[in-house]
Structure 1
Amino acid sequence: MTLLESQALSEALDTTTRCEPVTSRVIRQLLEALLHEGLVAYRGASRIGGWQWLHFSLGELQGRCKGRVRGFGRVRLNVQSLCLMRNGRQVPIGLEVLVESLPAPRECRQTLLQELAASVRNTRDCPRVAQRRELQAEALDSALHEGHPYHPCFKARLGFEGYDARRYGPEAGNVFRLHWLAVPHEQRQASLPYDEEAFWRRELGTESAQALRAALHVAGADPRRHTVLPVHPWQWQALRERALAPALARGEVIPLGPLGDRYRASQSLRSLFNASRPGQACIKLPLGIGNTSARRHLEPHSVPSAPAISRWLRKTVEGDPRLQQDYPLRLLDEYAGLLYVGPGESQAEREGVAGELGAIWRRGIVSQLGEGERAVPLNALFAVEVDGRAFIQPWVERHGLLPWLEAAIRRVVLPVWHLLVAHGIGVEAHAQNGLLVVRDGWPVALLLRDFHDSVEYVEAFLPEGASRPDFGERQPLYDLAPDDRYYRMAEVEALRELVMDTLFVYHLSELALLMDCHCCLPEAEFWARVSACLTAYAQRHPELAPRLAQLNYRQPRIAAEALLTRKLRGPDAGECHHRIPNALADAGASDNRDHHRG
């Protein structure tokens, strides 16, 4: 390592991993995303992987910053070295000066600046939990406050700040009851595992179910004509004076007040853990806020269809012994869904509440753990604790760096890979959607969750004789829809992109960086071990060679989702993609010097 590289690495660790000022982190992630997605061209030295001066132009600004180009074209900057010039004069560094120079419509730039500023405020007020290594799965999930490590709007939460964040955010650790509504049977869609009375008795417990029934009676609702529906208390306040006001005024929707167990927010904010009865179902509720790249409502079609997708996945997993033994995969099924669709005669009202009132019930984490096992959210694997050491450091020291890492790669990668290659099913295995099951810190299995709108398949890529999702009476909605609208994609490339994006480009890339910075394992060696894992898989399954060839995952450059580009193009832009160098390309096939340089 050269003196420049050593100094830059030391500075990067000091300023971006342990005690980086919040604004500096937001600026860093903004610039890194701009460079990675090719929105801003840059040039640097010819070598890849080492620290170097990167030079770029942003409108009338000329900038330079120490950085390194990483696997999949990801860029890491030491923002403390950032220098901006305009007409030969140095410019003070700030979010405003950067955003005003972006190649985007004025309205999009204003929205982006609001979200960046909100991320700064919300992160600045965020406490750091001193001891996270010993927390169990649900408590640990709620304590992972870092937010998205790539997206610059990682904690925007517009409309959910101040009191709301202190009351309902995971950082505060508060518990709260859900608000309940009664809605007419004909204005809801439901997919429940058994009849409603038995469902509520099982979910709420006998005492709370009786209290809910009593509240229905007091409010003048009829259990034979009304369905009860839980609502996040923040969402109730947001909707009662606006989208839901007409139905409330007509008496069609009847408020029942707060009832039942208390819940605590997970790191994803809208998925809630049961604090009164830990280990019970996690419930996912819509929130009308924007965070990172998406509005956090629930896709209306997916709520009543969630159980069908989970049943299909479970049937697939249970029908393949390799997913029990060789590539152990466990699922947190979404077994119930309930959606309010609004009055049938008013299209405007239906559109106003679409995806804003509903609930999905997901199996509790502990239900999938054996004796002595612990589940750790995957983004904890690249977390750094307040002592300046990696979250995983005790495990690495106990088991050895390379044995532990190779076991982790096998347990995280191969279940998702086998599901894709052997069964033709792509899952969104990003770091919030998965948990690593460990025993004494040693990786033993992968536990996946959140399937209702993040599973894809291609009809022609499903194995011969394989089942399709069975949506029951909702089947025509999916059969008649065009490819790429819901779960059925048109091209195998869509599956490859989904899996490689979420698993490698924006997920394991963070573990690779941590290994480089904290464990002295060069990133190139990290990706070489991931590549070797996939090679061993292919050698073990020669019968899958034609399917692996269809995926073409070793091509020199691959398409990836462009998260910031989409935001800069506005809310109606749809998905955006860019092409990046492939860290898993066949040896000699990839020209690593080709990385968005102008």
Structure 2
Amino acid sequence: MAITTDALPLPEVDPAASCFFNALLRETRGWQLDTTSQGEVVYLPVTDGELQLRLRHRSASGECRFQWPILWRKEGAPPRTTDFATALGHILATPALVGTLDPTTRQAFRERVLESQANTRASLDDRDDLAHLQRGPLTFAEAEQGLLAGHAFHPAPKSRAPFSEAEARAYCPEHRARFGLAWWAVAPQLAAGDSSRDSSATDLALDLLPADLAARLPAGFTALPMHPWQARQLQRQPWIQAQERYGGLQWLGSSVAEWQPTSSHRSLYAPQAPWMVKGSLSARLTNSLRLLSVKEVRRGLNLDRWMRGLDVARRFPGFAVMQEPAWLGWRDANGDIDPASLVVLRENLLLGAADAEAVVLATLTQQPLGPGHQTLLASRLRAKAQALGEPLPRVTRSWFTAFCECVLTPLFGLAVEDGIVLLAHQQNIVLRLDDGWPVGMFYRDCQGSGVGDRFLERHPQLELPPENHWPQATQRRYFLYYLLVNSTFAVTSALAADGLIDEATLLRDLRSHLVGLRERLDGDLDCLVHALHADRLEAKGNFFCYLSGINEATLADPARLYLPLENPLTAATTTNHHQGVPA
């Protein structure tokens, strides 16, 4: 059928639209996938016609590469090209896809999705280093600030309310922001904090305080570092202003502009600082208002204590956790700890290793950012195969085997043998590379940690906070989603989509690695067995979470966000993927 081309821009690459449609297709049933003479096409019925999404590739876990532009067809008419905003309007007017929406919800969602697309486009237009981001090698900061597409399964991964455009350029990683830390002096009666180390949190924070600001710190006061945007938000609050007048809170000033926001926005890094600083940010990024909670910051101290004596360096060479052994904040007018003031200190394990390459996994696997581009991972492996003079599929399989050993072995090892569970999604895995080859990993974000029954068996004397203990069903859902669905399948998808190797080969290698771990590890094997034999895993549903406006961070039962995913590691991969079943 002939296609009518309207006078519209015809993008070859649209990362924001890719993220949106991947999320929509994962969570809805009302579409079909057919093979045509021009390749695979998703047919998406809408109230006033049909949207057609032509695919370049579809992975076993459902991640798609799309061929733009989008096509729209009214009954009896040929398909016409249409832009993303128009397609979004058709989707939001279709109750069979998104349910019945009130006008306020529909308009708010539409605005946030289009804002995310505009933010993505603005950051791409602002960058003069896209070729470098595709080829590498990258420094830690370059990789963190090179995550331009965002979550591959999210309708608005680059939404950042309430940042203005000027604030985004000043504070967001995709604009390569760099700024100074804001510093408060907090009176003893207001100061809050704790440490799992021999030194107090107050003393550890002094490691970051510049000498000129330290000279202004009153005796007995705590120096509290903070993201400068957050500090400005808090300075507008009447209680904060009153405390500044009374002297309970004193503004010390800002350090030099050596701090860089990482891919999470609220975690800040300076190459020569012994600590990274992760703080509350009163902004809604993707699904959550990014405020730390007391129970979250205490998890970091618990994990630091619980991992002592596990001999991790010997058991899992190249693996380490960026521990978060201290937190600080202040108390509000009621004497309660103010979540908006909280910060944690995170170990900077890159200190003194500036030449070592440590790249966040999400940047390695993010979808191509420009015409003719491929993922950074594919680019590195093509160059490696050429340098070695070896077949690309062989090099790819060897790389993936090294990845599994560096990432899956320690994370499953801790869960199985020690009962310590780390939720390792793509932004929490910092892959350590030697000439592009995996040699280890850093895990970060200790708020995403818990313990299972195996830990309780090994430490019966400990009294755990209830939220730290995760039963088997919880581990199956969250641990396997983050480590396999979110992270490992993103690797197999990227390598297959860029034409390096057939994904089925990598999935067989992955299964073999997990079978080997089942034989090597001694302890609670439930998650491993489940990964190998369950017909379905679970995946987080970001589309409808975001559409409903839920704050994921404070949701009483986050399990309600999860939906079944056909498990690519089982025989279920041979069943029909072409009927719009949630992937």
User: TM over 0.5, yes or no?
Assistant: yes
Partner of 1:581: 566
Q: Is the 8 A contact 1:422 1:544 kept in 2?
A: yes
Q: Choose which of 283, 287, 290 in structure 2 pairs with 1:289.
A: 283
Superposed, 1:310-349 pairs within 5 Å as 310-316=304-310, 318=311, 321-324=314-317, 328-344=318-334
Label 1:250 to 1:278 Cα distance change in 2 as closer, same or farther (>3 A).
Answer: closer
Choose the corresponding residue for 2:207, options 188, 202, 209: 202
Flag structure 1 segments of 5+ consecutive residues without an equivalent.
Answer: 1-14, 218-222
Q: 1:181 aligns with which of 174, 180, 184?
A: 184
| Matching of residue 521 in structure 1 with residue 501 in structure 2 | yes
Distance 1:321 1:300 in 2: 33
Pick closer, same or farther for the CA change 1:533–1:180 going to 2, 3 Å. same
Query: How much identity, in percent, do the aligned residues show?
Result: 20
Q: Map residues 8-47 of structure 1 onto 2, 5 A cutoff.
A: 20-21=13-14, 25-38=15-28, 40-45=29-34
Matching residue of 1:462: 455
| Alignment match, 1:71 | 60
| Aligned residue number for residue 8 of structure 1 | none
Contact 1:59 1:103 in 2 (8 A): no
Within the candidate set 159, 162, 165, 1:159 is matched to 162
User: Residues 403 and 320 from structure 1, CA distance in 2 versus in 1: closer, same or farther, beyond 3 angstroms?
Assistant: closer
**CA shift for structure 1 position 455:** 0.8
Say which of 484, 494, 500 aligns to 1:504.
Answer: 484
| Contact 1:108 1:569 survives alignment (8 Å) | yes
Change (3 A) 1:266 1:84: farther
1:220 aligned partner: none
Tell me the alpha carbon deviations over residues 110-145 of structure 1, each in whole angstroms, 9 at most, x when there is no partner: 332222122122112213324241332233322333
Deviation at 1:230, TM superposition (A): 1.8
State yes or no: 1:558 paired with 2:559.
Answer: no
Structure 2 residue matching 1:181: 3-state secondary structure:
strand
Give runs of aligned pairs for residues 358-507 of structure 1, distance below 5 A: 358-367=342-351, 373-383=356-366, 384=368, 388-391=373-376, 392-393=380-381, 394-398=383-387, 400-451=395-446, 453-458=447-452, 460-462=453-455, 464-466=457-459, 479=465, 481=466, 486-489=467-470, 491-507=471-487
Instruction: Tell me if structure 2 keeps the 8 A contact 1:374–1:437.
Output: yes
Q: 1:549 Cα shift?
A: 6.8
- Check 1:331–1:45 CA distance in 2 against 1; reply closer, same or farther (3 A cut): same
Classify the secondary structure of the residue corresponding to 1:160: coil
Letter in 1 for 2:106: R
**1:119 to 2:124 alignment:** no
Instruction: Tell me how far 1:313 sits from its aligned partner.
Output: 3.2
* TM-score, structure 2 as length reference: 0.82
- Indicate the structure whose relative CO is greater, using CA pairs within 8 Å and at least 6 residues apart: 2
| Match of residue 151 from structure 2 | 148
Q: Does 1:271 align with 2:283?
A: no
In 2, Cα distance between equivalents of 1:55 and 1:368: 53
Offset at residue 552 of structure 1 (A): 5.6
Kept in 1: contact 2:186–2:224 (CA 8 A):
yes
The residue number in structure 2 matching 1:54 is 42
Q: Contact (CA 8 Å) 2:138, 2:359: kept in 1 or not?
A: no
Q: Which residue of structure 1 lines up, in the alignment, with residue 7 of structure 2?
A: none
Relative to structure 1, the CA distance from residue 502 to residue 51 in structure 2 (aligned partners, 3 Å threshold; closer, same or farther) is: farther
Paired AA for residue 203 in structure 1: L
Instruction: Tell me if structure 1 keeps the 8 A contact 2:33–2:42.
Output: yes
Q: Which amino acid aligns with 1:110?
A: Q
Cα distance change on mapping 1:588 and 1:450 into 2, 3 Å: closer
In 1, Cα distance between the equivalents of 2:407 and 2:539?
A: 20
Partner SS state of residue 537, structure 2 = strand
Q: Which amino acid aligns with 2:20?
A: L
The AA in structure 1 aligned to 2:264 is S
Residues 198-234 of structure 1: per-residue CA shift (max 9 Å, x gap): 4344333xxx25x3344344xxxxx33x433222111
1:558 alignment partner AA: L
1:177–1:588 Cα change, 3 Å: closer
TM-score, length of structure 1 as denominator length: 0.80
1: CA distance between counterparts of 2:35 and 2:566?
Answer: 15
Note the aligned Cα RMSD (angstroms).
3.3
Q: Any idea what the Cα deviations from partners look like across 1:153-175, whole Å, max 9, x if unmatched?
A: 11111111311111112233343
**CA distance in 2 between partners of 1:319 and 1:73 (Å):** 35
The answer to whether the 8 A contact 2:155-2:542 is kept is no
- Equivalent in the alignment of 1:12: none
